[in-house]
Chain A
Amino acid sequence: MSEAIAGGDTGVDRELAGRLAGGDEAAFRELVREHDAGLRRMARMYVADDVADDVVQDTWITVIRGIDRFEGRSTLKTWVYGILVNIARRCAQREGRTVPFAAAGDANGPWRGTVDPERLDHPGLGRGYWPAAPTWARDPARAAVDNETRAVVLRAISALAPAQREVVTLRDIEGWSGPEVCEVLGISDVNQRTLLHRARVAVRAALEDYFDE
């Protein structure tokens, strides 16, 4: 059953939603087991840790009261996370925190390019071309992710613009698909890919400093 919940089959989701609406507590427990930890992690992207669990609690209450309105147009997962994002953003605004509004987006913010243009200057081909491969002193291809590497990555992600952090966390850490991220955050696919690109480029640059030292 947990596979069915995680799987995002809307037919299965409609069936599960029907059981929830009918008061099937076992189905609700399964849903909570599947998503509670993820919702708590997500809430912490928007609000202080001590408020995050209240946001998740409000999310579950909204899910229970609103399950009748689930129409199966989205998966149950994206529907539940969408509710969380709405509650968390409102809560963060009340608290005066910087909200990672990917919708308002810094995807169109200033961008010097994937690689600093100064580095792209080939003696023959000219500007816009690598003069040499950006090889690192240590090969990352087989590098195991030890605690130090992990710290480098987490530091780089926490330093990102909020909307980039939001997208790369969901895509590359939580393993969501592009369409899931677009739906829950209410952003276009183009915007999602731009934010993802900039975030990955920044994390790669942090890894370059680390693997090439």
Chain B
Amino acid sequence: MSDDIDATRRLLAISCADALELMTDFLEGALSHADVERMHAHLAGCEACKVYLDQLRATIRIVGETGPAVTLPLDPDRVEGLAELFRSEQYD
């Protein structure tokens, strides 16, 4: 039984706790080649971490689609005011 556990641990390369800490770096392409290999080995054998990684990807997509808390339409008066400022600065 404990041989099975050791074999499974070896197959997974790293613990789930370690894999979870590396997930953003994994998505960012910031891991070393060795760590990428470990992540692939872990994800191949760990459905739970695959689910978590998919949830992280979904989170990124949802945050992106959420958009800014406030939308500030471009105010034509502001553009005119700033353009005037630009003109006035040219003669200083």
Q: Which residues of A contact B (CB under 8 A)?
A: 23, 25, 28-29, 32-33, 36-37, 40-41, 44, 57, 60-61, 64-65, 113-115, 117, 120, 124-130, 132-136, 140-141, 143, 145, 149-150, 153-154, 157-158, 168-169, 172-175, 178, 189, 193, 196-197, 200-201, 203-204, 207-208
Instruction: Establish whether residues B83 and A120, one from each chain, have CB atoms under 8 Å apart when the complex forms.
Output: no
State the 3 A-B residue pairs at the shortest beta-carbon distance, nearest first: A130-B48, A197-B24, A128-B15
Contact of B59 among A117, A124, A207 (CB under 8 A): A207
Name the residue on A nearest B79 (C-beta). Answer: A32
Of B15, B50, B87, the most chain A CB neighbours within 10 A belong to: B15
- B positions within 8 Å CB-CB of A: 1, 4-5, 8-9, 12, 15-18, 20-21, 23-25, 28, 30, 46-52, 54-56, 58-60, 62-74, 78-79, 82-83, 85-87, 89-90
Q: What residues of chain B lie closer than 8 Å to A115, measured between beta carbons?
A: 16-17, 20, 52
Q: Which of B8, B15, B54 makes the CB contact (< 8 A) with A141?
A: B54
Q: Which residues of B contact A32 (CB under 8 A)?
A: 78-79, 82-83
The total of interchain contacts (Cβ-Cβ below 8 angstroms) comes to 149
Q: Cα distance A157–B66 when bound, in Å?
A: 11
A residues within 8 A CB of B25?
193, 197
- Evaluate contact between A60 and B82: CB separation under 8 angstroms: yes
Instruction: Report the minimum CB–CB distance from A213 to chain B (whole Å).
Output: 15
Q: Are A145 and B62 in contact (CB under 8 A)?
A: yes
The verdict on A204 contacting B48 (CB below 8 Å), with A129-B16, A173-B67 known, is no
A193 proximity list for chain B (CB < 8 A): 24-25, 28, 30
Q: Which residues of A contact B79 (CB under 8 A)?
A: 29, 32-33, 36
Give complex CA distance A120, B72 in Å: 43
Q: How far is the CA of A117 from the CA of B30 in the complex (A)?
A: 25
Do A133 and B51 touch (CB < 8 A)? yes
